[in-house]
Amino acid sequence: MIEKTKILIVDDEDVVRLSYLRTLAAEHCSVEAARNGQDALQMMGQHPFDVVLLDLRMPGMDGMTVLKTIKEQWPESEVVIITGYPAVESAKEAVALGAYDYLAKPAGPDDVINAANGAMLHKRWALRNDEQLQSAGFQ
């Protein structure tokens, strides 16, 4: 993992949160977890995360609503959807709302690490390109 990437795991299943926490902590990331969308948005408000691993089906606020809110309020944060109910329709919707990636559960440790790494690299390139455009006077 690159530097100290700040990752937020949002999933209502304890076993999933703990598994992802363990996997990503071994990669020297700063990892926190939320059990629902409302908690995730509160945590984002306190200190935005670089990457959010987000479940779609949770009690209360669903993952699509959380994704939309994150991309509206913290557009530099990358979101990876990880769902136990994958469908082409929800994948299309997630990408249209700005998700970086979409994975089906069960996602193994390598899948989680690769998705988080890819999202972080994407974020770094996007920020680098924005800085270059600004310095060239295009924004």
- Among 55, 14, 51, CA closest to 30: 51
Residues 103 and 51: their CA atoms lie apart, in Å, by 14
Reported pTM? 0.87
Q: Average pLDDT for residues 101-120, to the nearest whole number?
A: 92
Q: Average pLDDT for residues 92-116, to the nearest whole number?
A: 94
Residues 133 and 66: their CA atoms lie apart, in Å, by 30
Residue 127 has pLDDT above 90, yes or no: no
Fill in the DSSP letter of residue 108.
Answer: P
**pLDDT for 37-57, tens place per residue?**
999 999 999 999 999 999 999
Q: Average pLDDT for residues 89-95, to the nearest whole number?
A: 96
| CATH tag, 6-135 | 3.40.50.2300
Instruction: Give the domain ranges of the chain.
Output: 6-135
